[in-house]
Amino acid sequence: MLFLVAALLLLGVVMGTVAHAPLGFSLAAAAVIAVWLGIFALRERHGRRRHTSTH
C-alpha cells in the first residue's frame, strides 16, 4: 500500500512538471522515452529467442 501511495505521489510530481514545461520539450522527452522503451523491448524479445528455457 505504501508503494502505491509513493508511486502516485511521484506520478503527480512528474505530471505537474510536464504541465509547466514547454510543449516542444515534453514531446522531445516523450520521443526519447518511447525510443528507449522500443529498443529495450526489441532487446528483450531477441534475448528470449536466443536463450530458450530448459524447464
Gap between the Cα atoms of 44 and 37, Å rounded: 10
pLDDT tens-place string over residues 1-55: 898 989 988 888 888 878 888 999 989 999 999 999 999 999 998 887 766 556 5
What is the pTM assigned to this prediction?
0.58
| 8 A C-beta contact, residue 28 and residue 36 | no
pLDDT on residue 52? 59
What's the DSSP call for residue 21?
S
Amino acid at 25: F
